[in-house]
Chains A and B, each alone.
Chain A
């Protein structure tokens, strides 16, 4: 793994930690006083700091540290969490997220925001804050000086300056305690480390060795006297014993100084290289020698200072589920292969049919099983790419916060169904449209709190974000409880901008849909918030590019709801194989309400060239697919074809006329745009069992294509005429 990919991992992990942070903060609001939640928040910030330190991302470390310090005080119940403090935490979380992005992209986050936040955070640290600051300085120092190698060099320089590579002889008396061994130390390794510093001689003292009968393997009974000739300083020697300090009795003294630097001859001149073990040796006395491994005692001795740990360990585990991280490329390759498998399965089925064998019944059964297995595999693979919308929804809470700050409106975000899983690509590409819609909902949807109060509503507006799986699609709703769409104003604006004729008579849904027209903006002035040059038409295009649809529902005084309907997967879909003229095509089953084989008497001609079909008493306009695709008409008066009833968002109920339906099957979606070019009315292509390419139709676009903005007029016209008839 290269340094860069570790860095990438760090930023990936940061995203997860930031999600955990946001989630933790909202949990803190829901269940104040839950220490495990505060711990989780602390850990998230702490881990970001730890990783950032490893990559020298000082700005990130700096801010995370201040944030973490305040969180630590909350953890220690030194600071009471108020609404204001929670808001500060949210904003700090937002800024931390900005800093992570800045660090990743090697840009700079807003420093003004940072200075303000740090000041506010420090405001919560109280009078002993100076000390905190100091300990942080100590930490930053550690960054550079942490490597003991660096320290050694420093010392070396110092000693060289003073002693000029002079060697000194040290006498070291070393008496380990039982705890030294229990803590996993090995005297031999310490001696090895000393031996690296110069010439070492070791003498073992076995005076404390008990009789064989009284021997306790757990009790130390040997001490050592060492003699080291080295150029190193005493500090370096102490560093070797850094970890065992307090676990042994150690005495280091200079026994021989170099001749030319004999400063203090009185100090240990000609001192004996070996000396007696110190008096206060903590070796066990004779009475404890027989109290061998008493588990209770062992327990006791090993526990001090671990109280909090024990209580944490005793808690219900909240650990993550076991997961496996897989490269996205691998998953996509697998998805592709499964797509090929499905095509292959279709081909085999077709070939067998073509063989025209007398007894294919059992073979057909096996084939059916193969088809089911292929579908299981495909669904399994798709599930790998599916991710909960939760992180996406969580990001929206920041958008709501920022939007309400910028507009001075009060707003809260409620999310529903955030465990709903959606394809990863869909989630990624949904982020921008969703951000825009949520921002719009606050900016245009909600009223100012005074107006809300006057209307008898809660001063705080609610933006409700929900996700659900329904009939093979993903439904995402963005609902506000604001004033609802101002249809008069929308129509006025559309006429003003020449988007519709001045005398146009439009139904309410039609007016609502004007919002999606390119170049439409209802705001009197372009607000800093929503008016960023992105209109709802861009949102709509983004959603449509994902094979989805957007619709609006609005009730005056109650609010507006935008619904995004998306396919579950971008790779495979269920479709009808149809023929249109002499071409084989596929139409998504999800868009078809029902299929009708009409009797000639059900078809009515309106005007000169328009047809409607009577369906259980109501009249539905017919759109001829072949005609719209420029393949000629299939209509002879006798041959009425088959009608596919589709419900579209903008054109209402429409019947698509095709020549025949051949089959219902799962098809693999192959992008036409990336392989050829975008064709209006055609969303993609697929490969059929016979190896031929078939186009996948997009009913909504197809109908629009028919007669731009005319099909609805025809329909209206038809309804009127029929009513008068």
Chain B
């Protein structure tokens, strides 16, 4: 089963992601800020990470930075959740090492199709 780690400080968004993704056959894990996200990352060992940008303690760029550098760097796909659809933000996310992005509010279909595209997940 494809494992997802979703990092978002909004309980509502975490819930929405959980419902969408568990419904689509993903194994769902979540963390409520960037720091917790990178802390649980080794234990969860996800196939894909979804992260919000604006969070307390460590923001989404911090998450990408931590996962993409240092001794435990990983190539696991990282999707950025953003309310902004600006090219600038997308470019920044990509430069930081993000694999892709999802613009909030998202719908189930596009979310799942993006995740399938990045992980090869089969429903």
Contact = CB atoms under 8 A, between A and B. Distances in A.
Contacts of A309: 58-62, 64-65, 96
B65 A302 contact: yes
Contact of A49 (B58, B83, B117): B83
A317 B68 CA distance: 21
Interface stretch (A101-109, A177-185, A500-508, A658-666): A177-185
A596 interface: no
A310 B85 contact: no
Contacts of A53: 83, 104-105
Given A43-B54, A310-B62, A147 B109 contact: yes
Given A298-B69, A313-B62, A6 B12 contact: yes
Given A139-B85, A146-B105, A146-B106, A298 B16 contact: no
Interface in B3-21: 9-13, 15-16, 18-19
A143 B98 CA distance: 22
B99 A183 contact: yes
Contact of A139 (B9, B18, B58, B84): B84
B56 interface: yes
A299 B91 CA distance: 19
A125 interface: no
B95 interface: yes
A43 B36 CA distance: 17
Interface stretch (A187-195, A329-337, A401-409, A621-629): A187-195
A192 B120 CA distance: 8
B54 A42 contact: yes
B54 A246 contact: no
A242 B103 CA distance: 13
Interface in A238-256: 240, 242-243, 245-247
Contact of B85 (A138, A242, A298): A138
A40 interface: yes
Contacts of A9: 11-12, 15
A184 B77 contact: yes
Given A6-B15, A298-B73, A54 B65 contact: no
Interface in A41-98: 42-43, 46-47, 49-51, 53-54, 56
B99 A54 contact: no
Interface residues of A, number: 64
Secondary structure at the A interface, as helix, strand, loop or mixed, is helix
A184 B54 CA distance: 22
Nearest to B11: A13
A112 interface: no
Contacts of A12: 11
Nearest to B70: A299
B10 A247 contact: no
A308 B58 CA distance: 10
A286 interface: no
Given A242-B100, A319-B57, A320-B32, A149 B15 contact: no
Contacts of A308: 59, 61
Nearest to A307: B61
Contacts of B34: 313
A305 B76 contact: no
B105 to A, nearest CB: 4
A480 B15 CA distance: 44
Contacts of B16: 6, 54
Nearest to A315: B57
A319 B56 contact: yes
A189 B83 contact: no
A184 B113 contact: no
Interface string B30-55: 00111110000000000000000011
B118 A189 contact: yes
Interface of A: 1, 3, 6, 9-10, 12-13, 39-40, 42-43, 46-47, 49-51, 53-54, 56, 135, 138-139, 142-143, 146-149, 179, 181-186, 188-190, 192-193, 240, 242-243, 245-247, 295, 298-299, 302-306, 308-310, 312-313, 315, 317-320
Given A246-B94, A305-B95, A319-B35, 11 more contacts: A50-B10, A53-B83, A54-B104, A147-B106, A147-B110, A183-B98, A302-B73, A304-B96, A313-B58, A313-B66, A319-B57
